[in-house]
Amino acid sequence: MWWGAGRLMKPTGPSAFQRGIARVHHMKERDPEKLKLLHERFRDVCLVEKEVWRELYMPRDISGEGVRMTNVQDRYEVVIETPEVEAVLEANIPMGAQALAAAIAEYKDAISFIRKG
């Protein structure tokens, strides 16, 4: 409740806390070093799961300290632009790490990572 003009007034609309939660920003990763790490993680997860994976977790970057091993991680959605690119990646998984890495490098412009809040 808010005090205003000498009387008790009930606030209208969501609280500042709720408005902050509603404004979770999803950002497309653009940092070349981070993208390199995300492509490597994507390759490794696809090889382990034996399919194209749509979600990755990376250790959180600490400002000024770089990546540290913590239990706090950033979640990334993997976005593949076309089904054809996904089919090529899927076909390269059984061929091993080098083949999949080559396919990812070939189609890296069609693969993006969106950081989820």
User: What proportion of the chain, given as a percentage, has pLDDT over 70?
Assistant: 69
Of 38-42, 60-64, 76-80, where does mean pLDDT reach its minimum?
60-64
Is residue 30 a part of any domain in this protein? yes
pTM of the model: 0.72
Is residue 69 a part of any domain in this protein? yes
The continuous run of DSSP H or E covering 90 comes out as helix 83-92
For residue 53, what are the CA distances in angstroms to 8, 18, 30?
A: 54, 32, 20
| Residue 61, domain extent | 25-116
The tally of domains found in the chain comes to 1
**pLDDT given at position 117:** 67
